[in-house]
C-alpha cells in the first residue's frame, strides 16, 4: 500500500475546502488554568456528520471514477466512518452500503441511515465485519472504503493536523504536543504526517481506552499487538482490534507514544466538556481531554492541542453521564 505524505494531506485539504467545515482551534482558559499550560482544542464534533471522519471519506469518494461511483461503495464502521462515507456518498450521488455492529449507538445507526445509506448489521462478537463487507462488495462490484488502512483516508484525516498547524500560527505559538484519540490509528497517522515538516517540535501522542491500548503497547515494542479478548469500554469509536497495517507503518517511527484512560475518566471529561466547553463529546471523542484532566499527561508550562474527535453520543447515554 502506498504510504501518503504531507503533500497528500495538502491535496486533501484542497479537496475538502468549502465542503467540510473548517473547525476552529479554540483556546480554553479554564482548562489552561487547571493544566498549568496553554490548552487548545480542535472540536471535530462540529464537523459535518459530527466527527472528523467526513474528511477522509470525502477525500476518498470525491476521487472515484465515474464507473466506480455508479458501482457504489461498501464500508464497515461502528458509526462515525459510517456517517462520513454515507454523507459523502449522498452528496456525490453514490450508492453506499455500511456494515455496522448491532450494538452500535442507535443514534449512529439512525444518522447513517438518514444520509441515505443501506445498513447491514452484524454481531461484533461472533462475526468479522471485514468478511461481510468484502463479500458484499464482491457481489456488487462495489468499492471498499476502509476506515483507516487507506492512503486517501489517512490523508483526509490529516487535514485536522494541517488546520491545527495553520491556526496555531495565528495564535503566534508553536505547540509542544498534540493529543489525538486512536482506534485504528488513521487520525493519528494523518496528523503526524501534517505536523512532521510544518511543526517538527510538536510531539503527537495517541490516546486510547484502557483495555484497548493496542497502540500504546505496539508503539512501545515496535510490533503490532492486538487487544486482549474480553476487554470492554463504552468508547465505541475506539474498539479496533489492533493498529492498522498502513497506519502503524506511519505511526511507529513518528508518534511519541500512547496514553490510556479509564471509562470513569472519560465520563468526567464528557461532563467537563458539557459544563466548561459547552460541547457535546462522545466517549471516544473525549479520551484526549480525559488524559489531560486525569493528569495522565504533563502539561505544565506547555502548549498542547487536544483533538476532540466526535460528538455522536446517544442522548440517553449522555444524560446518564451528566447525572453521574
Stretch that binds its own copies, among 25-33, 72-80, 140-148, 235-243 (CB under 8 A): 25-33
CB of 39 to its own copies, least distance (A): 13
Of 23 and 210, CB closest to its own copies: 23
CB of 25 to its own copies, least distance (A): 10
CB of 55 to its own copies, least distance (A): 14
Stretch that binds its own copies, among 131-139, 176-184, 225-233, 272-280 (CB under 8 A): 272-280
Site string for its own copies, 92-131 (x = CB under 8 A): ---------------x------------------------
If binding means CB under 8 A, how many residues of this protein chain bind its own copies? 29
Of 215 and 271, CB closest to its own copies: 271
C-alpha cell of residue 114: 438518514
d(CA 265, CA 283): 10
Alpha-carbon distances of 5 from 185, 195, 283, rounded to whole Å: 15, 11, 30
CB of 322 to its own copies, least distance (A): 4
Long-range contacts, stretch 90-98, CB < 8 angstroms, 24+ apart: 90/115, 90/116, 90/117, 91/19, 91/58, 92/61, 92/62, 92/64, 93/69, 94/61, 94/64, 94/69, 95/142, 96/72, 97/72, 97/73, 97/136, 97/140, 97/142, 98/74
Beta bridge partners of 307: 42
Contacts of its own copies in 280-299 (CB under 8 A): 280-281
Ramachandran quadrant class, 118 (left: phi over 0; alpha: psi -120 to 50; beta: rest): beta
Contacts of its own copies in 29-88 (CB under 8 A): 29, 43, 45-46, 48, 50
Among 6, 10, 11, 27, binds its own copies (CB under 8 A): 27
Of 169 and 316, CB closest to its own copies: 316
Residue 141 binding its own copies, by CB under 8 A: no
Beta-strand pair 118-122/26-27: unpaired
Residues 6+ apart with CB under 8 A from 74: 96, 97, 98, 99, 133, 136, 137, 140, 142, 143, 144, 145
Among 21, 92, 249, 256, binds its own copies (CB under 8 A): 21
Of 127 and 167, CB closest to its own copies: 167
d(CA 212, CA 215): 8
Of 295 and 315, CB closest to its own copies: 315
Q: Which parts of this chain interact with its own copies (CB under 8 A)?
A: 21-24, 26-27, 29, 43, 45-46, 48, 50, 107, 271, 274-281, 311, 315-316, 318-319, 322-323
Amino acid at each position: 500500500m502506498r504510504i501518503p505524505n504531507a503533500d497528500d494531506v495538502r491535496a486533501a485539504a484542497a479537496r475538502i475546502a468549502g465542503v467540510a467545515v473548517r473547525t476552529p482551534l479554540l483556546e480554553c482558559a479554564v482548562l489552561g488554568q487547571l493544566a498549568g499550560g496553554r490548552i487548545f482544542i480542535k472540536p471535530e464534533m462540529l464537523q459535518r456528520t459530527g466527527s472528523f471522519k467526513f474528511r477522509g471519506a470525502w477525500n476518498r469518494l470525491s476521487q472515484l471514477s465515474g464507473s466506480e461511483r455508479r458501482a457504489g461503495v461498501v464500508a464497515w464502521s461502528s458509526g462515525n466512518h459510517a456517517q462520513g462515507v454515507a454523507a459523502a456518498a449522498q452528496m456525490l450521488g453514490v450508492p453506499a452500503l455500511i456494515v455496522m455492529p448491532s450494538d452500535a449507538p442507535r443514534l449512529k445507526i439512525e444518522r447513517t441511515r438518514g444520509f441515505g445509506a443501506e445498513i447491514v448489521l452484524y454481531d461484533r462478537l461472533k462475526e468479522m465485519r471485514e468478511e461481510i463487507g468484502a463479500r458484499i462488495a464482491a457481489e456488487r462490484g462495489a468499492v471498499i472504503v476502509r476506515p483507516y488502512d487507506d492512503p486517501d483516508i489517512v490523508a483526509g484525516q490529516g487535514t485536522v493536523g494541517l488546520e491545527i498547524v495553520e491556526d496555531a500560527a495565528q495564535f503566534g505559538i508553536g505547540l509542544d504536543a498534540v493529543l489525538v484519540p486512536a482506534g485504528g490509528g488513521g487520525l493519528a497517522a494523518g496528523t503526524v504526517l501534517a505536523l512532521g515538516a510544518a511543526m517538527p517540535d510538536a510531539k503527537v501522542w495517541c490516546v486510547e481506552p484502557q483495555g484497548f491500548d493496542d497502540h500504546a503497547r505496539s508503539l512501545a515494542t515496535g510490533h503490532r499487538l492486538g487487544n486482549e479478548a474480553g476487554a470492554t469500554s463504552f468508547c465505541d469509536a475506539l474498539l479496533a482490534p489492533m493498529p492498522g497495517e498502513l497506519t502503524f507503518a506511519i505511526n511507529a517511527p513518528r508518534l511519541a507514544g500512547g496514553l490510556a484512560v479509564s471509562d470513569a475518566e472519560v465520563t468526567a471529561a464528557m461532563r467537563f466538556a458539557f459544563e466548561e466547553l459547552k460541547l457535546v463529546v462522545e466517549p471516544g471523542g473525549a479520551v484526549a481531554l480525559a488524559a489531560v484532566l486525569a493528569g495522565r499527561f504533563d502539561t505544565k508550562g506547555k502548549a498542547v492541542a487536544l483533538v476532540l474527535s466526535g460528538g455522536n453520543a446517544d442522548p440517553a447515554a449522555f444524560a446518564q453521564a451528566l447525572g453521574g
